[in-house]
Amino acid sequence: MKAYFGRRYTLSASHRLHSENLSEIENQAIYGKCNNPYGHGHNYIVEVVMGGQVDPETGMVSDLVELDACVRKEILDRFDHTNLNTHACFQNLVPTTENFNIVIHDLLRTAFMKAELSVVRVEETSNNSFEYPVANSFERSRGAHSRGKGSAA
């Protein structure tokens, strides 16, 4: 039987929602106040959910200490107290919460192989969150759904 283990982390970062492929008027219409040339910031909550068999020896799905070290190195040290627009991964990608979530997921999936990365959830505000990916079995067992647009401040 598969079990799931979730861990939450916080980080603060700023961003400006702006696409070079759109005109200033289109950017303003789509992103509104989030298109402010000086950017704006959020205190993000990142939830990482690992899945797998419970190890009969340790009683755990994932080693908490190893997961924390990986998240610190790959996510917190990289993005906390920075402007997301300045990172190479966002050079050709608008740093919406949706895209930020996918970047986090891909970094962790590559770096942490001790358990299966099931879901990464990023909460931008108390009203906006995004989950990636939403696996069918995980979604049904948990009743999880993406809420809000995720990219609006």
In this predicted model, what pLDDT tens digit does every residue of 41-98 receive, in sequence order? 999 999 999 999 999 999 999 999 999 999 999 999 999 999 999 999 999 999 999 9
Q: Is 40 a catalytic residue?
A: no
> pLDDT at residue 39 above 80?
yes
The three-class DSSP label of residue 106 is helix
Contact 7, 26 (CB under 8 A): no
Residue 150 counted as domain residue: no
Q: Which residues face 83 on adjacent strands?
A: 14
CA distance linking residue 24 with residue 7, whole number of Å:
39
pLDDT for position 153: 47
Residue 21 counted as domain residue: yes
Query: Where residue 102 sits, what CATH number does that domain have?
Result: 3.30.479.10
From the list 34, 70, 98, 131, the catalytic residue is: 34
What percentage of residues in the chain have a pLDDT greater than 70?
87
Contact 49, 118 (CB under 8 A): yes
Domain of 54 in residue numbering reads as: 3-142
Q: What is the mean pLDDT of the chain?
A: 89
From the list 26, 40, 66, 81, the catalytic residue is: 81
Q: Is 34 a catalytic residue?
A: yes
CA distance linking residue 20 with residue 23, whole number of Å:
7
From the list 98, 123, 124, 131, the catalytic residue is: 124
Q: Is 70 a catalytic residue?
A: no
Specify the number of domains making up the chain.
Answer: 1
Residue 147 counted as domain residue: no
Residue 24 counted as domain residue: yes
